Structure 1
Amino acid sequence: MRISLELVPRDSEGLRAELELVQAQFPSINTINIPDLTRFELRSWEATRLSKSFYKDSIPHIRAMDFDADEPFVLAEYLDTHQISEILVITGDVPKNSSKPLYSTTCLDLIAKLKREHPHLKIYSALDPYRNSVRKEYEYVQQKLNAGVDGFFTQPFFDLRLMTLYSEMMEGADIFWGVSPVVSESSRRYWETRNHVVFPKDFQPTLEWNIEFSKQALAYTKQTNSNIYFMPIKVDLQAYFDGVFSKVLV
C-alpha cells in the first residue's frame, strides 16, 4: 500500500524543510507527489529531483499543454538521468501571466505519445468525479486507458459512498484516492465553486470531521488494496496526521 503526500514546490529551501519534517515525523508516508504550478519558478520535475533524495517514490505532475506532441519529449533525458520513472499527466490550466509557449496537446495526446516513445515510464492521469456525470467520467477514464495510462490519481473525495461507487467502477485499476482536509467555510466555498464538489450532509469544516473521514478513507484504501494521497492545505500537518494515523494499521 502506498501513502502519498502532495507537496507544493514553492522553493527549494521550503520544500527541503517540508520533506525533512515529513520523513522524520510521519513514517507511514512512503511516496511524494508534486504539482506543477507555473506561478512558482521551481518546476515539478526539478522539485522531484530534490524529493528523491528523501523518497525513492516521487511523482511529478506534468502539464500536457506545455509540450508539443509532434516534437520529442524534451524532459525524457532529465527524467531518466534522475531516475524519475513515474509521472502524473494532466492537461493543465492556462496560466494568467506567462511568456512560455502553450500547445493544444491534451493529456490523451501526451499519454499516447509517452507510452509509444518511452514505454518504461509509469504514467498516471486524473480521475475527477465532479467535472462530469459518472457515465462521462467513466468514458473519459476508458479513453485514458486506451491511450495507455497505467493508473489514476483522483480529485479529493469527501464522501465514502461516492468513493465506493468509483471503486466498484474502477475495479482492478491502480488508483491513488485523494483526500484533502477542508477546515474553513471559505475553503468549503472554494471547493464548491471551483471544483463543483457536493459535500455530504454530515460534513463539517472542522479538523475533527476531516480527521475522521481521512481515517475512514485510509481504512477503505487498505481494504481495497489500493493507494491514497493526502493534499493538506492550510492545516497543521502535525495535528492532522497525528489524528489520521492514530490507531490505524498501515
Structure 2
Amino acid sequence: MAISVELIPRDKEILANELQQIKDNTFPIDLINIPELLRFETHSWEGAKLAQEHGFKAMPHIRALDINLNDKLPMQEYLHSHKINDVLVITGDPPQSMAHKVYPTISTDIIRKFHDEMPEINVYAGIDQYRSSMRQELYHIRRKIQAGACGFFTQPFFDLRYMEMYAEMLEGSNIYWGISPVLSERSVSYWETKNNVVFPKDFEPTLEWNIEFARKVRDFVTKHNSNMYIMPIRADLVEYMQGIFA
C-alpha cells in the first residue's frame, strides 16, 4: 500500500511549511501530489521540485487544456532536469478569465503525448466516479489505458459500498483511492451540486466522521492491496493526518 497526500501550491513558503509538518510528524506518506491551479503562481512541477527537496517522491498534475498539441510539452525540460518521473494528467477546468489561453485538448491526447515525447515518465490519469454512469466511466478508463496511463487517482469517495463496486470493476488496476474531508453544510452543497455526490445516510460534516471514514478507507486499501490518496481540503493538515494515522 502506498499513501499519497495532495498539497496545494498556494506559495512556496506555505508549501514548504506543510511538507516540513509531514516530515516532523513522520506521517507514512510515500508520495506528494501537487495540483496545477491557475490562481496560484507556483506551477505544479515547481511544487514537485520543492517536495523532492524535502525528501519526498512527487507527482505534479498536468492540465490538458493548457497544452497545445502542435508544440512540445512545455514542462518537458523542467521535468527532465529535476528528475521528476511521475505525472497525473487531467483535462482541467476552463479558466475564470479568458486571458488565460486554453486549447481543445483532452487528457487522452496528453497521456499519448507524454508516451511519445517522454516515454520514461510514468503517466497517471484521473477517475471521476460522479461524472456519469459506471459503464461510461469504465469506457473513459479503458481509453486512458490505451493512451498509456499506468494507474489512476479517483475523486474522493464517501461511501465504502460505492468503493467496493468500483474495486470489483477495476480489479487488477493500479488505483489510488481518494478521500477528502467535508466539514460544513456549504461544502456538502458544493459536492452535491457541483460534483453530483450522493452522501451516505450516516454522513456528518464533522472532522470526527471524516477521520473515522478515512480509517475505514485505509483498511479497505490494505484489504485490496491498493493505494490511498488524501486530499485534506479545508482541514487542518496535522490534525486530520494525526486522526488517520494515530
Q: Secondary structure at the match of 2:53?
A: coil
- Give, in angstroms, the shift of residue 101 of structure 1: 2.3
Any residues of structure 2 matched to 1:1-250 within 5 Å, and which? 1-97=1-97, 99-246=99-246
- Give, in angstroms, the shift of residue 94 of structure 1: 1.1
CA contact (8 A) 1:32 1:55 kept: no
Quick check: 155-164 or 19-28, which moved more?
A: 19-28
Task: Give CA deviations for 1:14-42 in whole Å, capped at 9, x if unaligned.
Answer: 11111101111143112100110000111
Identity of aligned pairs, percent? Answer: 48
Counterpart amino acid of 2:117? E
CA distance in 2, matches of 1:40, 1:121: 25
Q: Name segments (4+ residues, structure 1) moved above 6 Å.
A: none
CA contact (8 A) 1:85 1:120 kept: yes
Task: Give CA deviations for 1:134-188 in whole Å, capped at 9, x if unaligned.
Answer: 1000111111111111110000000011111111111111111100011111111
What is the TM-score of this pair, normalised by structure 1?
0.95
CA distance in 2, matches of 1:28, 1:196: 31
- Give, in angstroms, the shift of residue 208 of structure 1: 1.1
CA distance in 1, matches of 2:223, 2:54: 28
Quick check: 9-18 or 50-59, which moved more?
A: 50-59
- What root-mean-square deviation, in Å, do the aligned CA atoms of Structure 1 and Structure 2 show? 1.1
CA distance in 2, matches of 1:51, 1:238: 17
CA contact (8 A) 2:153 2:175 kept: yes
Counterpart amino acid of 1:76? Q
The aligned length equals 246
Q: Secondary structure at the match of 2:96?
A: coil
